[in-house]
């Protein structure tokens, strides 16, 4: 996907030219460290791609795209504290490298920096952009709270889908919507590209759930089975409990406990139950359902074939990841 790769390079160059080496260094060094850890830059590049596909100049979106990337990394900084996660992208997390207080304060500063970059967007669209950004920031926090609530409560698949919509999907929709607003796209196209991104985001998270269990570790980029080890209530977990009966249900209940004596054995046992219950097939069906919904919204948008294909290739890039 040449356009996505080109825009990724352009964004990384823009980010590299921005300096976050400021004083006091205890506040800003963690921010600089976080932004230099890398990542796929999917969200900011989605904004750039939307501007380009709707006939705007993607360079007009670089500030907003950086605001989006800083906000995304701010959420990760705080999530790592809440999840007690020691590693992020193969390196120590900020609260591990410094401490939790610094990570919280640096994260707070990143939110303000994100807002600062967002406000450097086109004055003509700024009010609408800020509404989208503020609404999305609130929804992402709501999704994170639901995620924490669900750690200690029984939930159903519908509740899980609501959580991933808020925590993950609305942000992808917002990135595309902000890019479209900067390009001056028509209102109906702005809404349709948002719903395209939102449904794509749900499919993306379900695919992530699937890869965490069945992915190729070299291609997936992290060790599989982490969701099982931490008893995370993913779609696969919930579907398995919905389908399991008798000994299978008993095995699930016995193994999804805190402080399991052997994590590798636990992953092996749960994975075998998932295979027996065809949980991966059910997940694929849901991924396909939301992916097709996304494409239906894309089909409603006034784009030429080349631009429509660029966005379709983005969708394929996110969903059709290798095992």
Cβ atoms 213, 271 nearer than 8 A: yes
Give residues with Cβ within 8 angstroms of 108, minimum separation 6.
none
How many CA within 13 A on the CB side of residue 52? 22
Predicted pLDDT at 322: 59
Ranges of the chain whose pLDDT falls below 50: 323
pLDDT at 35: 95
User: What is residue 217's predicted lDDT score, i.e. its pLDDT?
Assistant: 65
pLDDT in tens, 81-118: 998 888 888 899 999 999 999 999 999 999 999 999 99
Alpha-carbon distance of 261 to 255, in angstroms, equals: 10
Residues 6+ apart with CB under 8 A from 162: 146
Average pLDDT, the chain: 94
Two tokens, residue 62: 């670089």
Task: Kindly report, residue by residue over 234-261, the tens digit of the pLDDT.
Answer: 999 999 999 999 999 999 999 998 777 8
DSSP 85: -
pLDDT at 112: 97
Distance CA 47, CA 305 (A): 19
- Reading phi first (left if > 0) and then psi (alpha if -120 to 50, else beta), residue 221 is in left
Taking each helix axis from N to C end, the angle separating 126-150 and 100-118, rounded to the nearest 10 degrees, works out to: 150
| Phi, psi angles (nearest 5°) of residue 87 | -125, 140
Q: Residue 132 — φ and ψ, nearest 5°?
A: -65, -45
Note if the pTM is more than 0.85: yes
- Report the relative pairing of strands 91-92 and 87-88 from DSSP bridges: antiparallel
Instruction: Specify whether the CB–CB gap between 183 and 301 falls below 8 A.
Output: no
CB 280 within 8 A of CB 274: yes
Q: What integer pLDDT is reported at residue 233 of this predicted model? A: 96
CB 314 within 8 A of CB 46: yes
Residues near 238 by beta carbon (within 8 Å), at least 6 away in sequence = 155, 156, 157, 160
What does the block give as tokens for 81? Answer: 């504290």
């Amino acid at each position: 996907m040449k356009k996505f790769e080109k825009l990724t390079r352009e964004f990384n160059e823009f980010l590299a030219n921005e300096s976050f080496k400021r004083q006091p260094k205890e506040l800003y060094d963690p921010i600089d460290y976080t932004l230099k850890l890398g990542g796929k830059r999917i969200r900011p590049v989605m904004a750039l791609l939307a501007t380009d596909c709707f006939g705007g100049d993607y360079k007009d979106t670089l500030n907003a795209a950086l605001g989006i990337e800083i906000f995304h990394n701010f959420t990760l900084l705080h999530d790592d504290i809440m999840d007690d996660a020691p590693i992020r992208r193969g390196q120590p997390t900020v609260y591990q490298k410094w401490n939790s207080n610094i990570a919280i304060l640096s994260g707070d500063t990143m939110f303000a920096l994100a807002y600062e970059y967002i406000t450097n967007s086109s004055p003509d669209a700024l009010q609408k952009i800020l509404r989208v950004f503020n609404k999305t920031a609130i929804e992402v926090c709501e999704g994170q709270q639901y995620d924490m609530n669900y750690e200690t409560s029984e939930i159903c698949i519908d509740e899980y889908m609501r959580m991933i919509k808020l925590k993950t999907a609305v942000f992808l929709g917002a990135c595309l919507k902000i890019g479209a607003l900067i390009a001056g796209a028509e209102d109906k196209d702005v809404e349709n590209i948002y719903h395209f991104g939102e449904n794509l985001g749900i499919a993306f998270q379900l695919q992530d759930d699937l890869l965490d269990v069945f992915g190729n570790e070299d291609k997936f980029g992290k060790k599989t089975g982490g969701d099982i080890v931490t008893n995370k209530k993913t779609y696969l977990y919930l579907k398995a409990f919905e389908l399991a009966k008798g000994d299978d249900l008993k095995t699930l209940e016995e193994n999804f406990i805190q402080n399991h004596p052997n994590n590798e054995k636990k992953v092996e046992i749960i994975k075998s139950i998932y295979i027996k219950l065809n949980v991966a097939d059910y997940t694929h069906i849901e991924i396909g359902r939301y992916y097709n919904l996304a494409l239906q919204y894309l089909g409603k948008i006034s784009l030429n074939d080349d631009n429509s294909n660029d966005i379709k290739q983005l969708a394929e890039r996110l969903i059709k990841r290798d095992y």
